[in-house]
């Protein structure tokens, strides 16, 4: 019997998958697209993502914890499924890869600006590969360790309290923004990652299924809590006017932390964000690996991973600048958001049809 994930591990896994590179730009996106008190937008995002998680829990209940691939393969022909799997693999693989590349390009603004970014990208890919070959159970153990290694940074927000002023918030609700639809998609992308929990369903301990489902909500809620605290601090510390001008307000926050004997602590702190980004990348690649494995089940996992990562590494050569990577991430983000909603809906439909068609298969 394969080892099962505990509810706590699921919550941590969901939170760690969700938090990643977007954290650096989120407060700015909120201020820029939504203007004053833009942080309020995080609340509907939390509700929407919670609704999406509700759909995922429905899949779990209706499918009795079976893997989504089994559910689909029971009722849909492979002629349709294989291209679909291929599509999922492509989107998840490239999305993960672009997140990794963005981290590298941002890192190079701070350090090693002229080194070839693909060298750093390779280092991250090697790390990701080493995690991926271990399988989801060991990955989740590592992720929990990473969680404890990074969560203390949340306490750094206390540093900004002395300069925090409520007066900077202004009483105006969402005034002075622009392109709100695009902004909403961009902000919602900060929540992405929870949708991969649909792939965790077969690893859920069936004796603790209720707690495990609650854990997905908990991971998402904790992320929202972190986002809201961070955005509140940013709005009260910088004010919306200044936030609009800062491209990476969280980098500036980190750079503001100064100790008498050391300047530019952000270089050190930025390193810790690698863990958050790495987990996001690894989880998307894990999802890509699962779906491609349905097409080529006989290929050994390490070999398959080498091929997948090789392809993704080649693709990551294409965008060269931060702006180009952003365009890729934004567009792929739309697709991933679409998958997040459509996939559980499709599965629920299939499951309902299977139910109607008689209990013979179940």
349: nearest Cα among 49, 58, 57, 82: 58
Q: Does residue 251 bind other proteins (CB under 8 A)? A: yes
CB of 40 to other proteins, least distance (A): 14
Task: Pick from 83, 87, 271, 302 the residue near other proteins by CB under 8 A.
Answer: 302
Q: Strand, helix or coil at 261?
A: coil
Task: Pick from 78, 116, 229, 317 the residue near other proteins by CB under 8 A.
Answer: 116
Q: Cβ neighbours of residue 21 under 8 Å, at least 6 residues apart?
A: 99, 102, 103, 106, 273, 277, 280
Site for other proteins in 258-287 (CB under 8 A): 258, 263-264, 266
Task: Choose between 65 and 239: whose C-beta lies nearer to other proteins.
Answer: 239
Q: Does residue 323 bind other proteins (CB under 8 A)? A: no
CB of 258 to other proteins, least distance (A): 5
Task: Pick from 2, 77, 79, 114 the residue near other proteins by CB under 8 A.
Answer: 114
Distance CA 19, CA 17 (A): 6
Count of residues that interact with other proteins, criterion CB under 8 A: 40
Q: Cβ neighbours of residue 237 under 8 Å, at least 6 residues apart?
A: 160, 163, 164, 168, 253
Distance CA 325, CA 349 (A): 35
Contact 95, 276 (CB under 8 A): no
Task: Choose between 72 and 246: whose C-beta lies nearer to other proteins.
Answer: 246
Task: Pick from 44, 83, 87, 241 the residue near other proteins by CB under 8 A.
Answer: 241
Q: Does residue 171 bind other proteins (CB under 8 A)? A: yes
Contact 91, 336 (CB under 8 A): yes
Site for other proteins in 26-85 (CB under 8 A): 36
325: nearest Cα among 34, 111, 131, 108: 108
Distance CA 11, CA 355 (A): 30
Residues in the chain: 362
Task: Pick from 40, 62, 86, 122 the residue near other proteins by CB under 8 A.
Answer: 122
Task: Choose between 83 and 310: whose C-beta lies nearer to other proteins.
Answer: 310
CB of 238 to other proteins, least distance (A): 6
339: nearest Cα among 54, 67, 85: 85
Task: Choose between 122 and 156: whose C-beta lies nearer to other proteins.
Answer: 122
Integer CA distances (angstroms), 80 to 48, 85, 86, 182, in order: 29, 9, 10, 32
Q: Does residue 115 bind other proteins (CB under 8 A)? A: yes
Q: Does residue 178 bind other proteins (CB under 8 A)? A: no
Task: Choose between 303 and 349: whose C-beta lies nearer to other proteins.
Answer: 303
Task: Please name the residue that has the structure tokens 């991969």.
Answer: 196
Contact 218, 144 (CB under 8 A): no
Task: Pick from 80, 119, 318, 349 the residue near other proteins by CB under 8 A.
Answer: 119
Task: Choose between 30 and 339: whose C-beta lies nearer to other proteins.
Answer: 30
Site for other proteins in 144-163 (CB under 8 A): 163
Using alpha carbons only, what angle is made at residue 7 by residues 269 and 23, rounded to the nearest 5 degrees? 30
Q: Does residue 242 bind other proteins (CB under 8 A)? A: yes
26: nearest Cα among 251, 215, 255: 251
Q: Does residue 19 bind other proteins (CB under 8 A)? A: no
CB of 259 to other proteins, least distance (A): 11
Binding-site ranges for other proteins (CB under 8 A): 36, 109-116, 119, 122-123, 126, 129-130, 133, 163, 167-168, 170-172, 175-176, 238-239, 241-242, 244-246, 251-252, 255-256, 258, 263-264, 266, 302
């Amino acid at each position: 019997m394969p080892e099962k994930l505990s509810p706590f591990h699921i919550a941590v896994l969901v939170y760690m998958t969700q938090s990643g590179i977007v954290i650096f730009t989120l407060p700015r996106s909120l201020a820029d697209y939504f203007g004053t008190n833009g942080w309020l937008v995080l609340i509907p995002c939390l509700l929407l993502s919670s609704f999406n998680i509700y759909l995922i829990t429905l899949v779990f209940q209706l499918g009795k914890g079976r893997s989504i691939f089994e559910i689909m393969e029971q009722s849909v022909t492979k002629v349709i499924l294989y291209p679909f799997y291929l599509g999922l693999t492509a989107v998840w693989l490239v999305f993960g890869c672009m997140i990794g590349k963005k981290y590298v390009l941002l890192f190079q603004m701070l350090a090693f600006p002229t080194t070839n970014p693909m060298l750093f990208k390779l280092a991250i890919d090697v790390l990701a590969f080493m995690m991926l070959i271990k399988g989801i159970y060991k990955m989740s153990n590592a992720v929990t360790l990473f969680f404890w290694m990074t969560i203390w940074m949340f306490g750094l927000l206390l540093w900004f309290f002395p300069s925090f002023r409520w007066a900077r918030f202004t009483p105006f609700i969402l005034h002075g923004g622009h392109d709100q639809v695009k902004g909403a998609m961009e902000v919602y992308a900060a929540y992405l990652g929870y949708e991969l929990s649909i792939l965790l369903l077969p690893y859920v301990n069936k004796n603790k299924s209720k707690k495990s489902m609650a854990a997905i909500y908990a991971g998402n809620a904790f992320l929202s809590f972190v986002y809201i605290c961070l955005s509140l601090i940013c709005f009260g510390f910088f004010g919306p006017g200044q936030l609009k001008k800062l491209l990476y307000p969280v980098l500036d926050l980190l750079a503001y932390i100064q100790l008498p004997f050391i300047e530019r602590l952000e270089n050190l702190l930025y390193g810790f964000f690698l863990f958050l980004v790495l987990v996001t990348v690894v989880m998307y690649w894990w999802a890509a690996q699962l779906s491609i494995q349905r097409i080529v089940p006989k290929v050994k996992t390490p070999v398959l991973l080498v091929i997948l990562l090789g392809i993704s590494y080649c693709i990551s050569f294409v965008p060269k600048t931060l702006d180009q990577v952003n365009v890729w991430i934004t567009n792929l983000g739309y697709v991933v958001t679409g998958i997040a909603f459509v996939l559980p809906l499709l599965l629920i439909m299939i499951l309902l049809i299977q139910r109607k068609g008689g209990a013979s298969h179940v």
